[in-house]
Amino acid sequence: MTIRVRYFASLREKMGRIEDTLVAEDIATVADVWKVVGGGLPLPEHILCAVNMEYAEPHTGVSEGDEVAFFPPVTGG
């Protein structure tokens, strides 16, 4: 399964990269994605997530070709 993982704003800077491409078979949820990319750290409580550009939760399922994003609270407008 291939998943594109994107980061924005302060989280992007903390991660030191704008995105990852995951190729793995044992990924079922957003939380599983974070386990692979998060460098062993738990998903910070304030960080939001999206799957295919819709807000999601850590337990939201992911599938082949999905785009998962992690980012801090939004501050537009």
Partner 1 sequence: MAVVLCATPFSPYRELEAYQRNLEAGKFGATAVFVGTMRDLNLGDAITRMTLEHYPGMAERRLREIAGEAHLRWDLLDVLVIHRVGEIHPNDSIVLVAAWAAHRGPAFDACRYIVEGLKHSAPFWKKEASPHGERWVESNTPS
Where along the sequence are the contacts to partner 1 (CB under 8 A)? 6, 8-10, 50, 53-55, 69, 71-77
Instruction: Please give the helix or strand (H or E) that residue 17 lies within, else none.
Output: none
Q: Which is nearer to partner 1, 21 or 75 (CB)?
A: 75
Q: How far is the CB of 76 from partner 1 (least distance, A)?
A: 3
CA distance 23 to 34: 13
- Residue 72 CA, chain-centre distance (Å), reads 11
CA angle 53, 57, 24 (to 5 degrees): 75
Q: Which is nearer to partner 1, 11 or 22 (CB)?
A: 11
Q: Which is nearer to partner 1, 31 or 67 (CB)?
A: 67
